[in-house]
Amino acid sequence: MKLILTGAVDHLGIAGDVVEVKDGYGRNFLLPRGFAIKWSRGAEKQIDGIKRARDAREIRGADHAREIRAQLEQLAVSLPANAGESGKLFGAVTPADIVLAVKKAGGPAVDKRAVEIAKPIKTVGTHNVGLKLTSGVVAHINVDVVAA
């Protein structure tokens, strides 16, 4: 089955790549989750749009990734969350919450799939979170979770 990837898929490719996969993998995993669309000559035109969007937000090389890492590590990220009197949260902090808090703190837009949380954040306090920018560059930021 020939597909066009709409997002990055581990060990397969990045957005805009045309890949050949087994029918079951494409039909049961990639297509339902929105990671790919069926290839056709008309869909080939969409690849240009996907690649332009990817280039606009993509990290351009290791030097650019290091610049973004330095920018992220200087941020003071505060994340308000609903918590009880004992300091335990009602739920957990998600990668999407962290991405939103980084953006509100004045940081660059980061993909929520790049957020690496060692263990679930379920308490108020300062927590260390990793943001994988490229395969070799990871930014470590401190997220201060406060009771709202």
Predicted TM-score (pTM) of this structure: 0.62
**pLDDT for residue 68:** 85
**pLDDT for residue 135:** 74
Q: Which two tokens stand for residue 74?
A: 């200087």
CATH of residue 109's domain is 3.10.430.100
Per-residue pLDDT of the chain (148 residues; tens, 9 = 90+): 999 888 888 889 887 888 999 999 999 999 999 999 898 888 877 777 777 766 655 566 677 788 888 888 888 999 999 999 999 999 999 999 999 999 999 888 888 888 999 899 999 999 999 998 877 788 999 999 999 8
| One domain for residues 49 and 88 | no
Residue ranges making up the domain that contains 50: 2-57
62 touches 129 (CB < 8 A): no
DSSP 122-136: EESEEEEEEEE-SSS
- From the list 118, 134, 128, 30, the residue with the least C-alpha distance to 73 is 128
| One domain for residues 83 and 36 | no
Separation between Cα atoms, residue 113 and residue 17, nearest integer Å: 19
Q: Which residues pair with 20 in a beta bridge?
A: 2
| One domain for residues 67 and 130 | yes
Total domain count, the chain: 2
CA angle 64, 96, 118 (to 5 degrees): 80
Tally of CB atoms within 10 A around 32? 10
**pLDDT for residue 60:** 63
